[in-house]
Structure 1
Amino acid sequence: MDAICGILGRRDSAALDAMAAALRSRANATHRSIGESFAVAASHPIDTDVCLLDGAPRLQTVAKLTPAMVQRYCAESHRPAPLPFRGAYACAIGLDRGARWWLSRDRLGRRPLYYFHGAGFLAFASELKALLASGLVPKRLNLLAVDRYLTLRCVPGPESIIAGVFRVQPGEVIEYHDGRLNEIPAAPFNLQPHEEPRDAAARRLRALLTDALEREAPDKVLWSSGIDSAALAALRPEARPIFVALDRAWQDESRLAKDSARLMGLPLHQIHARRLTEDTVHKAVRALDEPLADPSILPLWLIAEAASENKASFVSGHGADELLGGYPRYNFLQKARGAKRLVPAGLLTDLMPALPPNAFIRRGSRYLVSMHDMQETYLSLVSVFDRGEREDLYTDAMKSAIYDMGGGIPAVQEHFTEGDLTRNVLSLDLHVGIPNFLLTKCDRIAAAHGLNLHHPYLDDDLLDFAVRLPAKAKYGVRSKPLLRLATRGALPASVRLRARRDFHIPQSGRALRVIEGVAAHCITPDRVDATGLFRWHAIDAILREATHNVYRRRQFWALVMFFAWYRCVMEA
């Protein structure tokens, strides 16, 4: 991992030093370049032609671009445009001797980059915590971002949870010149389905995944019991599998992981993760920069902590579910639309007030009623708190503030423009779920432990292929049917056909007691009232019902992560 930060439009060495210090958990940004109107720092040497680079961009003809090569390419461009680089990167490029700057990220958002546009200056950094440490950014909550977090489990779009702080969007170029910002949007993904025989598509998938592994040249595979990591090990025999065993409360995969390795004839190296503590939870929350309501964060933190003791380059199976139909929601959403013909929406609307106060029944009914609106259809199923539940949760001041800022509709409308709901959801995953949810947690957690982690399933060439797969090739009775077909002959049938498994919030045992302890310390009546955002009686009801209600459990987790973040960041 690398780290970059800087202040453009003024020389402020003290603020730069504070930003670099805040990035030490990511990398040591010890190299400085200070000009007449800028001060920047990076974890790599900075040439006279300034280019700060986090990651390793590449072109089709060049395996890895150096900062000097990236700067030279941009200097030769007549105007700012989406950069054609591939791979994982974020960059800040000085042009015209530092009079003009470009900020950019790779098109999938594998590396982060935040910025704050103040009076006569622009501050940027790899992580949000560095901007807050600079003393240049007011520490104020973005209330719309809080509302969107409680809907989608992450903060989507360009805005961060801190008011005035923005993310450079994946693939976007931000030009800063004479105190003004010019935003050049990313080139769109080509999502038009490309028809290809299923067997040919499987062969191509296997070839693309093999090429991605050759580019990454990993030493180890983060092992699980499923097909994602098994396929990586089968296609890259040089990469040895390493399995991190967790407390049973998360999910005990030890037996299945050992069985998969035995059937494939692989020497599995197993290590044990440390036990979860309240201090571990707070470390993970601080590392994330923004709240993220994903139950897999804590087990992934423990896995990364244990794996980082092996100084090696790792690959993981992250991204396979998102691109290759691992989640059932894509197929379910398309097929379930036929249900609206069975029960008239008007009848359901009349019946809903009389339905029992059961979350599953309420959500299912709202799903059927909202089928005329694709966005509402999706949100009725995936929202942590639906619109009515958020209304019950918020104070009058919070509801008034959200209304004044344009309403609390999540920033997902632009992705629901086609008649094909599955392609709309794919667009949402590419622009929100993968960059703001999946890659955010992977990047921050890997950086916090100095773990060199790569994701072959998110390789650019494989990505371009996978997003154009037609639904009939991507979805089936089992998840990821094309990957299962592509690995026929390379994996034993019992491994290739094994069902996918997720991490869930522990429902018993020591890990649950730790999480409940964090909740008790972070979600208190005084803190809830101090935020001015929530009603305590609504919060308290969720805390009391979380042990026996699956929907309340998701809401409980979202609140725990928010208030733990609030305590670590806003009250620090």
Structure 2
Amino acid sequence: MCGITGAAWTASQLAVSAEALRRMTDSITHRGPDDSGYYHRPLESRNPYPPVPGVALGHRRLSIIDLAGGHQPLPNEDETIWTIFNGEIYNFGALRGRLEGAGHTFRTHSDTETIVHLYEDEGPNCFRHFNGMFAIAIWDQRERRLVLGRDRLGQKPLYYHYQEGRIVFGSELKTLLALPGIPRDVDPSAIDEYLTYQYVPHPNTILKGIKKLAPGELAVFSDAGLHLERYWKPDFAHEDHRAPAMQDAELRELFDDAVRLRMQADVPLGAFLSGGVDSSLVVSSMQKFSDRPVKTFSIGFPQKEYDETSYARQVAEHLGTEHHEFQVTPSALEILPKLIWHYDEPMADSSAIPTWYVSQQTRAEVTVALSGDGGDELFAGYRRYKAVGLGAMIDRLGPLKQLLGAKFWQKLPSSGRQKSWLRQGRRFSEAIAMSPQRRYLDWISIFNETRRGQLYTDQFVEQLSDSDPFDFLKTAWLRCGKRDALTCASLSDLVTYLPCDLNCKVDIASMAHSLEVRQPFLDYRLAEYAAALPIGRKYRRGRGKQILRKVFGDRLPPQIWDRPKMGFGVPLDYWFRNELKELLVDSLLSERALSRGLFREETVRDLLDEHMSGSFDHSARLWALLVLELWQREWIDGTPS
């Protein structure tokens, strides 16, 4: 696991100096504290032939595999191809055997060298053969091009800024901002997307002109410009109708192999264990392949409704792991500045806080940890899918749909509690008249379309483009063709919410502490398998993960399968009425914030008043606004938050 950055240019006035490359690389030292490496080659003019672009590659290394020989940038034998990458290629052993058979000579035992030699044979098609999590940069001197690629499910980030004559890239946005001349102009439409989803969807970023490479995408920069291409295009419209016994056998084989591959390391390895189904299954499989107790890690909080340690303890005892449990009293005032700096874009998922703490504590014991991320998207585990299923049923009953969507229901009183049945029922009725896609967006939005309209000033609305944040979700939904609404929702989450929110959250929080997190559920073979399963195999009687229970039921205690699902959260509603109240009010109603001209003062005051009085829980919305304001102070205003 590492951090990468660099540039390539065909215009001499846009050259990146060796000194600038070092500044860019130093900005992500936390991602790779063990080693650093650089490759710098100036623009080479060959009149009348096209010039060989200038190139700069910078690398920070967290040593995991081949501790002595894995230095990057790493070249091929004649040093015409160089690579740097962040992540792991889990099937590098099999690829190496194939490449050695084809005559390639290896000088190291690292997975990095597999990239170089496979690129020699396959060119940009090499990405199709990698099973892993990665952001890769390959400099090809013979073809005069820089090739960038990102893993299929967006586990590793890759930012870039392209202008005619140059591309600059990096694992984090701060690498680009370390280079003079990179613009810091906030994109109003990105703010609109952020307040919809609680993140800025790819390929956009919060800044104009800076993009994120999409999951499963590659980019080629040359004297012809920049070419983007998707190398992974799963067919979500396809459904697997094989016999259940065949599906079950394949799931068992795929899952265990995904875990086995991710246990390769030359450093101490463990696992996050929340006590939920997904992380528990990962640990159960790890224990199968380990000749000693697996090290597991969980954190607990003083507030009982946010504390899962008792469940984690039950699983650890059942599986016989070496369990480490940490009690944490989160301090929002202490951690907020760190989050704002590390998350280069505003990201309003407050579960970044517990993820930060569990990464910090885990890194004290191990360098690599496996996690259960992805199980909810692949096997329909989120509670909100129950509403999707109910909505789909009502869609088939025209008159009932009209009744449930009637204004009468919207006039019922609503509880201020975020998860109250009355509030959820009222919100359900408000959205039932919409299309399934629009309804789902309304349910998952931090600020839905109506609330954003009430929040924005006329001045800000005039700056917005004609693009609709809904298009991001709609495009993902339509990839599923005519499949059922619950499948469409879960697979949309797989390619939107998972890479843009969950994977980003885990990557930044873990790498801030130089910890590598591996996610077996996101093995692309398992993802393609699960995407094709009929919904009846995953979801029945209001509960998801049915096939996991059938296939792996004997691996976990019965109470783990039957336990209520808990989010990985923190008590924002309480904090905003207590320790964060002064910061919240002073930040959102400050002259500094209001002078930005983004939000109506009266709407912000109403949100604060309703929350402080306890009449409504606006904690998620207030957190999104607070993070955005503090982010602007840190990264745009140039003064501390």
Post-superposition shift, 1:490?
2.0
- Contact 2:575-2:581 at 8 Å conserved across structures: no
Determine the structure 1 residue equivalent to 2:27.
22
SS in 1 for 2:89: coil
The correspondence for 2:474, drawn from 413, 416, 429, is: 413
- Contact 1:52-1:91 at 8 Å conserved across structures: yes
Change (3 A) 1:258 1:348: closer
Post-superposition shift, 1:382?
1.4
Post-superposition shift, 1:287?
1.4
SS in 2 for 1:487: helix
Determine the structure 2 residue equivalent to 1:107.
152
**For residues 457-476 of structure 1, what are the structure 2 equivalents within 5 Å?**
457-476=521-540
Change (3 A) 1:555 1:74: same
Point out the more displaced range, 276-285 or 157-166: 276-285
Could you report, residue by residue, the CA deviation over 1:383-402 in whole angstroms, capped at 9, with x for unpaired residues? 11111111110011211111
CA RMSD after TM alignment:
2.8
- Contact 1:292-1:561 at 8 Å conserved across structures: yes
Aligned counterparts of 2:41 and 2:616: Cα–Cα separation in 1: 56
SS in 1 for 2:306: coil
Amino acid at match of 2:553: R
The correspondence for 2:279, drawn from 229, 245, 255, is: 229
- Contact 1:208-1:461 at 8 Å conserved across structures: yes
**For residues 315-326 of structure 1, what are the structure 2 equivalents within 5 Å?**
315-326=370-381
Amino acid at match of 2:565: R
Determine the structure 2 residue equivalent to 1:13.
18
2:91 counterpart of 1:45:
no
**For residues 297-376 of structure 1, what are the structure 2 equivalents within 5 Å?**
297-340=352-395, 341=397, 343=399, 351=407, 355=411, 358=414, 363-370=427-434, 373-376=435-438
Change (3 A) 1:379 1:496: closer
2:560 counterpart of 1:495:
yes
Change (3 A) 1:352 1:92: farther
Determine the structure 2 residue equivalent to 1:273.
328
Change (3 A) 1:106 1:280: same
Aligned counterparts of 2:36 and 2:319: Cα–Cα separation in 1: 45
Determine the structure 2 residue equivalent to 1:220.
270
The correspondence for 1:400, drawn from 462, 470, 475, is: 462
The correspondence for 1:54, drawn from 86, 96, 115, is: 86
Aligned identity (percent) is: 25
Change (3 A) 1:90 1:228: same
Change (3 A) 1:203 1:515: farther
SS in 1 for 2:84: strand
Q: How many residues align?
A: 569
Could you report, residue by residue, the CA deviation over 1:430-480 in whole angstroms, capped at 9, with x for unpaired residues? 321111111000111110011121111112222121111110001123331
Determine the structure 2 residue equivalent to 1:535.
600
Post-superposition shift, 1:425?
2.0
- Contact 1:120-1:179 at 8 Å conserved across structures: no
Determine the structure 2 residue equivalent to 1:262.
317
- Contact 1:222-1:314 at 8 Å conserved across structures: yes
Aligned counterparts of 1:155 and 1:535: Cα–Cα separation in 2: 22
Change (3 A) 1:120 1:555: same
Point out the more displaced range, 58-67 or 128-137: 58-67
Amino acid at match of 2:525: D
Aligned counterparts of 1:232 and 1:433: Cα–Cα separation in 2: 21
Post-superposition shift, 1:534?
1.0
What are structure 2's unaligned runs of at least 5 residues? 10-14, 43-53, 61-70, 97-108, 415-422
- Contact 1:355-1:361 at 8 Å conserved across structures: no
SS in 2 for 1:571: coil
Determine the structure 2 residue equivalent to 1:288.
343
SS in 2 for 1:94: strand
Post-superposition shift, 1:492?
2.1
2:250 counterpart of 1:204:
yes
Post-superposition shift, 1:564?
2.5
**For residues 2-151 of structure 1, what are the structure 2 equivalents within 5 Å?**
2-9=2-9, 10-28=15-33, 30-36=36-42, 37-43=54-60, 44-46=71-73, 47=75, 48=79, 49-59=81-91, 61-62=94-95, 66-77=111-122, 83-97=128-142, 99-151=144-196
Post-superposition shift, 1:119?
4.4
Aligned counterparts of 1:511 and 1:362: Cα–Cα separation in 2: 25
SS in 2 for 1:83: helix
- Contact 1:3-1:26 at 8 Å conserved across structures: yes
2:209 counterpart of 1:171:
no
Post-superposition shift, 1:175?
0.7
Point out the more displaced range, 519-528 or 320-329: 519-528
- Contact 1:223-1:257 at 8 Å conserved across structures: yes
- Contact 1:82-1:184 at 8 Å conserved across structures: no
Point out the more displaced range, 464-473 or 177-186: 177-186
Point out the more displaced range, 317-326 or 518-527: 518-527
- Contact 1:246-1:299 at 8 Å conserved across structures: no
What are structure 1's unaligned runs of at least 5 residues? none
Post-superposition shift, 1:200?
4.4
Change (3 A) 1:109 1:549: farther
SS in 1 for 2:618: helix
The correspondence for 1:391, drawn from 450, 453, 456, is: 453
- Contact 1:249-1:511 at 8 Å conserved across structures: no
Q: Which has the higher contact order (CA 8 A, sep 6+)?
A: 1
Amino acid at match of 1:330: Y
Post-superposition shift, 1:187?
2.5
2:627 counterpart of 1:561:
yes
Aligned counterparts of 2:134 and 2:124: Cα–Cα separation in 1: 21
SS in 2 for 1:233: helix
Determine the structure 1 residue equivalent to 2:444.
382
Taking structure 1 as the reference length, what is the TM-score of the superposition? 0.91
